[in-house]
Copies of this chain bind each other. A is one copy, B any other.
């Protein structure tokens, strides 16, 4: 396939492979992106950042103090995974992935899911096409505000977790969610909160939702409590389209969504700064998966899907065909049954990667 667009400027991509399967996934993603570039007029230039738990052990830090400034030199960040059993997770995350999301104003986390061709939902009555969701997760505040503390030694300890929600913080993600819903055929947005039990932040979420909804009369809306939402996702996936949720609920529901579409290994995410003042970050959400790391058997699709979204985002309308070309190749390959074990196949990461490269070539 020859390039569908005219010569483009060079896009600078920072990669942070991180830990575990993040390393292999990033390698495979580079292979696929380089192939995509060679087949089209996209020019990509990569910068590599070895910020990882292994390095943390060596040096005592994950990111250098000017880490965010370094990343700001790039058009986008591709992130593999962070977390390794020998560092407490709350340290690795709060020293690497969470500061990037927060400092770079990536206040939206977009998590699309659908059943890819040739793959099967664990749900009995769910055919491809019955499950096609985009979860818009608030990504900067709420339950991930990082506030709270712990006092007194055991056995008297008292700990608090303080979730902080602001009207502007909610409104901006809500607006993004309504725009997303509007851009999709069903134009349907479901709000997920727990405003019956959580009387302050969640009630504010509900009210901002209704405020913003007035500007989008063409978007059909409904509202679910997070507990009941999990039941609806398993019983009636067809009844959902675009979903907006807080940082924590978006995290939980997007994992469930990935599971219900076949595997967490296909789950992609885009951490976006919609103002485009900062680079956005793209990451598969499967995590570092210590149990299978280094074996070359991880499913690379979540990483490639994230990369496709990255190309779409940096192109800002100019690289949609190229992003689609990668997505189409992914779908053709799953349709052909070339799948890793988590999807019921027998291939390893390299097989899938090469098949997708080959598919783009055709």
Contact = CB atoms under 8 A, between A and B. Distances in A.
Interface of A: 83, 88-90, 92-94, 98, 120-125, 143-144, 146-150, 152, 154-168, 171, 194-204, 207-208, 211, 225-228, 230-231, 234-235, 248, 251-252, 254-256, 258-260, 264, 287
B235 A259 contact: yes
Given A146-B199, A230-B230, A230-B252, A204 B163 contact: no
A258 B121 CA distance: 19
Contacts of A196: 83, 89-90, 92-93
A162 B159 contact: no
B122 A159 contact: no
Nearest to A237: B122
The 8 closest A-B pairs by CB, nearest first: A89-B196, A231-B259, A227-B255, A230-B256, A159-B200, A159-B201, A148-B200, A90-B199
B197 A98 contact: yes
Given A234-B122, A255-B228, A256-B230, A195 B90 contact: yes
Given A158-B165, A231-B255, 4 more contacts: A123-B124, A227-B255, A228-B255, A234-B259
Contacts of A93: 196-197
A148 B231 contact: no
A227 B251 contact: yes
A168 B195 contact: no
A227 to B, nearest CB: 4
Contacts of A164: 158-160
